[in-house]
Amino acid sequence: MTEKRDIIDDLMDIRDGFGGLNELAHPLNGVTDSLTDPNAERFDPSKYKERPRVNSIYCTCCSASSLVDEATALATCSRCVDVCPVDAIEIHKANITIKDNCRKCGLCVMACPSEAFISSRIMGKLLYEKIARAASSHEECYVTCTRALGRLPKENEILLPCVGAVPREVWFSLIADYDNINVFLPLGICDKCRTVTGEEVYSEEIAAAEEWSQSSVGLEVESKQLNHEQTRAYKRGQFMNEMRRAGQSAIGSVNPALAGAQAVAKKIRAHADQLQSMQRALENAVGDKNDNNHRRLLTQKRKDVLGMLQGHPALAGRMRLKTPVCDTSLCTMCGVCERVCPVRACGVDEQGHFSVEDAYCVNCGACVVACPEDALTMQTCDPSNLVIRDEAAERRKKEAAKQMAEARKAAEKGKKQLNKMLDSLEHLADE
């Protein structure tokens, strides 16, 4: 449906006809920038890639190496090794080696359930904020790779070493709230790429996110069809900010790159605050330590999922995640399951009771593989366990509802008293 125009839209049209307030104040800015910056239009794909670092302390396989034989340790988790397109990752006991032939594709960062691999360019929180910012400010947002784009990205183009670097948890937390996120990959582009596992990976990750959210990621294959138009709300905010700045100093410096971004930044901050609030609610509900006083780790990917489910609890029913279940007749209370768990989501207490917190569990199955008695099996968990109640928010909601009910009651009482008074006046007038 076409949005109704008003006087602000007319003023924006006039502004755009003159090239904007900043161009009026600084008419040579564009020319001088292109002359003084020799790299203004140079595209260097390597700037968007980074060789990952790894912290073996968080590696499931490395943790298991001191508890079980090497073959079993490798069986607990080998996702990084399996996804690497050039076999650049080697794990031996408690050490992980990334060889020189690493393609810097970021697939290992995406695949690691315990987030032992680190790349500052493609960490989950950063990816979410980049994509959400573009989706909030533009009519369409495009996630693409260096090979597909082949040029400097525009504001609404998120350029990655491989689209497969975005995990399903990030896709899920984005597409449940934004309906304008697309992947831009020309037909056949992946066939020419040496990151041979990338296409299968991003297909699986996006498919899982779409199943969870019942929303979809768009696909664009033609560069001519890319839409770089900003949203009407963003342009209006930008225009009003420019007007305010221009009013403060008609000939001063105006920075339109910053203007109009307050609402988007506020939305990103609100999401981050909501995740922190959710984590506090989780810790208050189940504690941040297991039965043996070991601190649990809430990964960023799991935090994204829990945060989205807290705001959209109905989506939990669409998720099918498996967590370990223990056969107590086989359990010997050896504690291997707890020690091999990368996030300390499970454990055995002094009475021999096995327990797992579904919200923390990353569903890797390492405990099942490592258990020497085969006492554990992976079974589908109750999805309602993934919805973290925000008791403070619920109290505020109940209080607001109570105040609203009292206000309606008072209004109804006042209306009755007014009608009674009017009836009395009418009776007196008749006499």
pTM: 0.79
Q: What is the pLDDT of residues 324-375, one digit of tens each?
A: 999 999 999 999 999 999 899 998 888 888 999 999 999 999 999 999 999 9
CB-neighbour burial class of residue 295 (10 A; exposed 0-12, middle 13-18, buried 19+)? exposed
Euclidean distance between CA atoms 121 and 104, whole angstroms: 11
Q: Which of 204, 200, 183, 182 is nearest to 191 (CA)?
A: 200
pLDDT of residue 31: 43
Please state whether beta strands 95-98 and 89-92 pair in parallel, antiparallel, or not at all (unpaired). antiparallel
Euclidean distance between CA atoms 126 and 265, whole angstroms: 13
Rounded to whole angstroms, what are the CA distances from 308 to 169, 176, 179, 205, 272? 9, 8, 15, 17, 12
Please state whether beta strands 157-160 and 141-145 pair in parallel, antiparallel, or not at all (unpaired). parallel
Residue 219: its H or E element: strand 218-220
Question: The dihedral of CA 404, 410, 416, 418: what is its sign?
Answer: negative
Q: What is the pLDDT of residues 58-107, one digit of tens each?
A: 999 998 988 888 889 989 999 999 999 999 999 988 899 999 999 999 99
Q: What is the pLDDT of residues 182-194, one digit of tens each?
A: 999 999 999 989 9
Euclidean distance between CA atoms 262 and 129, whole angstroms: 14
SS3 category, 61: helix
The size of the chain, in residues, is: 431
Q: Which of 90, 87, 88, 83 is nearest to 112 (CA)?
A: 83
Q: What is the pLDDT of residues 228-281, one digit of tens each?
A: 998 877 766 656 666 665 555 443 444 444 445 677 888 899 999 999 999 999
